[in-house]
Structure 1
């Protein structure tokens, strides 16, 4: 059965984030602490996967199929699906996206049968991914938290020309010509939000 996922990074003033955070942060933290989640994260950090173009052959080797499946589950198990599937009246994702502060152009990555976060994390590896706030693309940051975390996000998502080529080779997403690459959009949002004194909401969800 097909699905479409979205990773949205949108900017909001702190009064909006104050309303959103009580609904978002406990779900993120609960998911982060699941034993299965922690095991999958430790396994990926201990043995990062090789280039995705080699996965078909690697799946035939003992343990490698499980390692690939574990990584994909880690980066596609989406706790914030509850916010627009369970009837939670405190957060309406579509309203938040439409009402994002126009001082920062949102990053919106929509993919059919794929996940922007999975592709990004594979491209940058666990050391860089660990620098990103929140958990696997989900976060709800105040303006001050955005400012404080910007250097770490710059380190995670900033590339020398050689590093950029390597990351592009490891990413498997097929973007349309007008799409903003996932290697660019989140960092741009961070920089613009830090400059304009806004918080950031990152939500990785299934649309359908």
Structure 2
């Protein structure tokens, strides 16, 4: 059965970021602390995957060590269980929707980057395209983060090192980003950095969430 995923990065004032912090920050910390998540991350950091077009053999899926590395990376970059449980509400006593209630606070299209993918995850393609060294510069955990306006300004230099490219490096990253964008959609190589720069200029915080929506 296929899935539909969404990765959103939205800009908000600090007052709204503060209301999300008790809900989202413990979940991100829990995702990062999962022993399996750390194993997947460390494995990818030690040995990045090759060109995505080599991941599958001509007559079937990759096997052996390559198959294990690919499965590990897929687990790393899929929606985390803690964040996912918050998608439709954290508990029977809390009907706050971590994604829907956040999106409703967005004032206009310039204040959100949204990547909706069928049978895939936008964070997965981004991470493979930029590689583990650049991905390690991004705050939060695998696309999930919550930052005040001060933290946005503080992390912007690292995010620029992660997501700003020379023309040659950009070509390499584009070649390894397998997502197809329509004319009115932003690439995962463009949208996150735009949001960081814009939020830093506007004095806003940022909320990033990666979940399965159906």
Same fold (TM over 0.5): yes
The Cα offsets for residues 29-73 of structure 1, whole Å up to 9 and x where unpaired, read as 111111111111110000100010011139545211010010011
Kindly report which structure 2 residues correspond to 1:47-62, keeping only aligned pairs within 5 A, or say none: 47-57=47-57, 60-62=62-64
* Other-structure match for 2:88: 85
SS of 2:56's partner is: helix
* Cross-structure match for 1:168: 174
- Superposition deviation, residue 177 in structure 1: 2.0
Matched residues, number = 208
Q: Equivalents in 2 of 1:206, 1:91: separation in Å?
A: 17
TM-score (norm: length of structure 2): 0.92
**Unaligned runs of at least 5 residues, structure 1:** none
Structure 2 stretches of 5 or more lacking a match? none
1:36-47 equivalences in 2 (<5 Å): 36-47=36-47
CA shift for structure 1 position 77: 3.4
TM-score of the pair, normalised by structure 1:
0.95
In structure 1, distance between residues paired with 2:109 and 2:18: 19
**Distance in structure 2 (CA, Å) of the matches to 1:165 and 1:133:** 24
Return 103-112 or 132-141, whichever deviates more: 103-112
Segments of 4+ in structure 1 off by > 3 A? 58-61, 101-104
Q: Which residue of 2 aligns with 1:157?
A: 163
**2:198: which partner in 1?**
192
Whether the aligned pair in 1 keeps the contact of 2:88 and 2:95 (CA below 8 Å) is: no
